[in-house]
Amino acid sequence: MGEQARATILVVDDDEVFRRFATALLEAEGHVVMEAADGAGALAALDRQAPDLILLDIEMPDMSGFELLGRLRPRVDAPVIVVSGREAETERVLAFDLGADDYVVKPFLPREFAARVRTALRRTRDRTVGILRFGDLEIRLAGREVTRGGKPVALTPREFDLLAYLALRSGQAIPRQQLLEDVWHASGEWLDPATVTEHVRRLRLKLEDEPSNPRRLRGVRNVGYCFEPD
C-alpha cells in the first residue's frame, strides 16, 4: 500500500455484485471493509464501528442515498464518496450540498476509483494536521501559507481566509451572503456582496491557469462560489 494507511471503509449499496466488486478492490488496497445493503443496515453498522470512509449509492429501496447522507452527516465526520449511475449536475450538486466529499459515476475504472479513495483518506489525515492539498495547490492552515507547484503564493489575510473557507468545504456551493457572514463577519446590509466577487477574482489571478475560465474557484449561478477539489 505504500504510505497509505489501513482504513475501515463502509460500502452501502443494494447491488450485491457491486458490493463484492468494491470490497475486493478495497481489500486489495489493504483496507477493512464493512458492507450494508440499505440505509438501515448502514446505520446499524455505524453503531458497531465508526468507519474512516463511506461509499454510498444513491438508488436504494428503503431510503435514498440522499436521505441517508442527510442522516449520516450529523453522526460521522468520515468522508463520503457517492457512487451513482446518475450523471446529472443537479444530482451532484445535491450530494455535495448534503455533505458528500466526492461523486463517482458508474461504471468507473478501478484504478481511478482506488485513487479517489486514497485521495479522500489522505485529505482526512491532512486536515488533522492542518494541511489541505489539491493537486499542486497546498494550503497550510496553521501557518496561513499557500504554495502552488512548490512555490509560495502571496495572499492578503482576507484572501487566505476566503480560500481556506471554500477549500474546507470543497465541492459545496457557498452563497455570497454566507461568505460575508462567515469570512467577513459582516452583513450584506452594510457590506456589498461585490466584495466577495472581487476577492474571488484576485484569488483566480493568483491560483488559476486561466483566470477567465477557472477550474478551482467556480462560480455557481444565482448562488455564489464553489471550490472544486479536482
As a 3-state breakdown, the chain gives helix, strand, coil percent values, each rounded to 5, of 40, 20, 40
Give the separation between CA 53 and CA 118, rounded to whole angstroms.
Answer: 10
pLDDT of res. 2: 40
Instruction: Decide if pLDDT at 107 tops 60.
Output: yes
- Summarize pLDDT for 186-218 with one digit per residue, the tens: 655 556 678 899 999 999 999 999 999 999 999
Please list, in sequence order, all residues whose beta carbon lies within 8 angstroms of the beta carbon of residue 24, skipping any fewer than 6 positions away. none
3-state secondary structure of 103: strand
For the chain, give the longest Cα–Cα distance.
56
At 194 the pLDDT is 81
Q: Name the residue with cell 480560500.
A: 163
Per-residue confidence (pLDDT) for residue 122, from 0 to 100: 77
| Other beta carbons less than 10 A from residue 158's beta carbon | 13
| HEC readout, 26-93 | HHHCCCEEEEECCHHHHHHHHHHCCCCEEEEECCCCCCCHHHHHHHHCCCCCCCEEEEECCCCHHHHH
Residue 185 has pLDDT above 80, yes or no: no
- Whether 1 shows a pLDDT value over 70: the answer reads no
What domains sit in the chain, N to C, each tagged with a CATH number? 8-128 (3.40.50.2300), 131-227 (1.10.10.10)
- Give me the pLDDT at residue 167, please: 92
What pLDDT was estimated at residue 188? Answer: 52
- Per-residue pLDDT, averaged over 4-16, amounts to 87
Report which of residues 48 and 108 the model is more confident about: 48
Q: Which residue in the block uniquely carries the three cell numbers 463484492?
A: 20
pLDDT higher than threshold 70 for residue 110: yes
Q: Which cell numbers in the block locate residue 121?
A: 483518506
The reported pLDDT for the residue numbered 86 is 80
Instruction: Give the confidence band of 36 by pLDDT, cuts at 50, 70, 90.
Output: very high
Distance CA 160, CA 40 (A): 41
How high is the mean pLDDT of the chain?
86
The H or E element containing residue 156 is none
Confidence of residue 4 (pLDDT cuts 50, 70, 90): low
Calculate what percentage of the chain has a pLDDT beyond 70: 93
Model's pTM, two decimal places?
0.59
